[in-house]
Amino acid sequence: DAGITQSPRYKITETGRQVTLMCHQTWSHSYMFWYRQDLGHGLRLIYYSAAADITDKGEVPDGYVVSRSKTENFPLTLESATRSQTSVYFCASSEYQGASTGELFFGEGSRLTVL
């Protein structure tokens, strides 16, 4: 199926453990994004990527690492999870060149709980 898929959808981990959230899109969109959603904070951009091998920090990048070796994949790694990283994480993609408007297409979200 075409679209953007995230895995896992739900994850419980412990403080200090490494966690990787996966994101895969089938549209060949150049841009991909990771957001976290927390009550009272709306959506906050963690990292984004304009193309394979090009990544940049967003608003709240500390404690996270990303990579983009292939256009379709954009994994987000929490190197040493902390309780403050308990959140719902959304991956999104967009095409922002030429006549495209920059509309975002979101995955279903990954709910992460850090104990």
Partner 1 sequence: AQSVSQHNHHVILSEAASLELGCNYSYGGTVNLFWYVQYPGQHLQLLLKYFSGDPLVKGIKGFEAEFIKSKFSFNLRKPSVQWSDTAEYFCAVIGTNAGKSTFGDGTTLTVKP
Residue with smaller CB distance to partner 1, 53 or 79? 53
Exposed / middle / buried, residue 84 (Cβ in 10 Å: 0-12, 13-18, 19+): exposed
Handedness of CA 77, 82, 88, 93 (dihedral sign): negative
Q: Which stretch, 10-18, 35-43, 65-73, 78-86, contacts partner 1 (CB under 8 A)?
A: 35-43
Position 63 contacts partner 1 (CB under 8 A): no
For residue 113, the number of C-alpha atoms closer than 13 Å in the C-beta half-sphere is 4
The residue range among 21-29, 43-51, 66-74, 75-83 that interacts with partner 1, by the rule CB under 8 A, is 43-51
CB of 17 to partner 1, least distance (A): 26
Which residues are paired to 77 by β-bridges?
20, 65
Least distance between partner 1 and beta carbon 108 (Å): 5
